[in-house]
């Protein structure tokens, strides 16, 4: 019986040791998930329509800061669409591009 109690005590100690590591790992996974889903409402003035437009763009402040510091926008924000990158650079929405610069427009 004494050996059985020692084994259980050893297992309990392992659980107490391992659980904080597992919890920290789960917290890191959750944090990465939250960070990857960050969206910002970005407002820009369009020189085409002379109006302000706001778009919900999946971009972080760190990505915006990298771009503003000189990193090419496609390198600073590889996760966002070309339409969203164009909007950030020029303020022109995809609808305005289609209307004013398409072969049909």
Lookup: tokens for 104: 């049909």
pLDDT (tens digit per residue) in 70-103: 999 999 999 999 999 999 999 999 999 888 887 7
Phi first, then psi: give them for residue 62, nearest 5 degrees. Answer: -65, -40
Q: What pLDDT was estimated at residue 102? A: 75
Q: What pLDDT was estimated at residue 96? A: 93
Q: What pLDDT was estimated at residue 99? A: 87
Question: What are the residue ranges spanned by the domains of the chain?
Answer: 1-37, 39-101
Q: What pLDDT was estimated at residue 39? A: 82
Cβ–Cβ under 8 Å, residues 64 and 20: no
3-state secondary structure of 105: coil
pLDDT (tens digit per residue) in 2-59: 666 667 667 667 667 766 766 676 666 666 666 556 788 999 999 999 999 999 999 9
Q: What pLDDT was estimated at residue 66? A: 95
CA distances from 79 to 4, 33, 83 (A): 54, 14, 12
């Amino acid at each position: 019986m004494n050996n059985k109690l020692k084994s259980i005590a050893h297992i309990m100690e392992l659980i107490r040791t391992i659980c904080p590591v597992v919890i920290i790992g789960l917290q890191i996974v959750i944090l990465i998930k939250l960070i990857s889903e960050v969206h910002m409402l970005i407002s820009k003035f369009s020189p085409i329509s002379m109006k302000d437009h706001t778009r919900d763009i999946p971009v972080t402040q760190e990505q915006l800061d990298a771009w503003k510091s000189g990193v090419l926008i496609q390198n600073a924000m590889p996760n966002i669409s070309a339409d969203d990158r164009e909007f950030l650079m020029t303020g022109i929405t995809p609808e305005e591009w289609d209307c004013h610069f398409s072969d049909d427009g």
